[in-house]
A and B are shown apart, each in its own frame.
Chain A
């Protein structure tokens, strides 16, 4: 009767106050049967990583619309590495210029979803790529 549920942390790093997109994604993941921990606005990378560890999530999904993604996304993966965590899938979304994507991927952000991404695509990606057994 053991039942494993996918747990996702949806976070808004940085200072922009636009969380409509994050909420829509959170809702879609919830409707796909996942447990979504939403932590609200203005999170530092340290707060995101700490919350992810305490909540033992399978995936961290971050949304940034302010342009700070090059600074904040890699900081999160760096902190995870420092904690010795290698089994949390990290994905991002928001306004991310194409040119920035290779560098973000190299930094350990597995996938970046831009505006207009169908929600099913995000749900499927999470479902197929979480790493924990």
Chain B
């Protein structure tokens, strides 16, 4: 499908155009870039919520419940759920939709599952562009569910306005809570499965961690108890999300973060495009294979060769 037609479809609210555009983004189809660049001016309206946390902590169920609550508050929703791709076959089993069945036939909810396709960091490479496409499509809120995150999958923070970190009772002691990484990115903490033993202890540990954290912002992440299965605590969670949205607007944080994000995105994109350009020029050429062989045989070293190849590439492109 041509970029123009896709853009037209997305702006008219046709879900099949959106679905197709997301596939093209995932497949790194050049027309997707073209479509996104036209759509860019229609984006920036959606509030993006990231939901991350360890596998089995209830992310999908929380997202489904949150969606129901947000729908009650007449918001329209897009959801991107990321699950890991196999490092061996490249395939993936995307199972987050199972929890979201009740929203399948709600035309104001659009759900898309995505495999990481080798990308680390908790998201797929295509996730941020997919979120942007859904934003242009006109959804008020886009929820991004990361893969089951360990300690360092924190990429979602670059994309979400509000980050929710989920945890469950009994998952490690108070030292885990002060380790760097995922515990630092939360705007809201959720201790799910509140019916299990140790739920209150977990809340206390996270709060104790927050007590000794240097206060960078005026927003102190609240620590909430939920039972996503029964829905307990979900309305309170959505209240906090709305409070956080308000805080971002009023404190000017949204603006500063927006600038930072645009800079990071531009730099990332240039890095990616430059690398891709360079590698397409080099890969498959005899000189390149020769150079690699020399490095393997210790006749040359990768540091010098990298410098030389990049210098040659830049000189060639000056003309």
Binding site for B on A (CB under 8 A): 1-5, 7, 26-27, 29-40, 42-43, 46-47, 50-51, 53-56, 83, 85
Nearest 3 pairs between A and B by C-beta?
A: A40-B98, A30-B91, A56-B19
Q: Separation in Å of the B143 CB from the closest CB of chain A?
A: 14
Residues of A within 8 A of B89 (CB): 30-33
Query: Does the CB pair B110–A54 fall under 8 Å?
Result: yes
CA distance A29 to B91 in the complex (A): 8
Q: State the main secondary structure of chain B at its contact with A.
A: mixed
Query: Does the CB pair B94–A35 fall under 8 Å?
Result: yes
Q: Separation in Å of the A31 CB from the closest CB of chain B?
A: 5
Q: Which one of A34, A35, A54 contacts B15 once the chains associate, using CB atoms below 8 Å? A: A54
Query: Does the CB pair A35–B19 fall under 8 Å?
Result: no
CA distance A2 to B91 in the complex (A): 16
Residues of B within 8 A of A85 (CB): 16
* Stretch of B112-120, B168-176, B194-202, B228-236 that contacts chain A: B112-120
Q: Which one of B19, B26, B28, B91 contacts A54 once the chains associate, using CB atoms below 8 Å? A: B19
Query: Does the CB pair B276–A35 fall under 8 Å?
Result: no
Residues of B within 8 A of A54 (CB): 15, 19, 110-112
CA distance A2 to B28 in the complex (A): 5
Residues of B within 8 A of A53 (CB): 15-16, 19
Q: Separation in Å of the A51 CB from the closest CB of chain B?
A: 6
Residues of B within 8 A of A46 (CB): 105
Q: Separation in Å of the B110 CB from the closest CB of chain A?
A: 6
Query: Does the CB pair A40–B97 fall under 8 Å?
Result: yes
Q: Which one of B16, B23, B91, B276 contacts A34 once the chains associate, using CB atoms below 8 Å? A: B91
Residues of B within 8 A of A39 (CB): 97-98, 101, 104
Residues of B within 8 A of A47 (CB): 101, 104-105
Query: Does the CB pair B91–A31 fall under 8 Å?
Result: yes
Residues of B within 8 A of A3 (CB): 27-28, 117
Best-buried of A30, A32, A53, A85 by chain B (most CB within 10 Å): A30
CA distance A7 to B22 in the complex (A): 13
Q: Does B55 contact A (CB under 8 A)?
A: no
Query: Does the CB pair B117–A5 fall under 8 Å?
Result: yes
CA distance A43 to B101 in the complex (A): 8
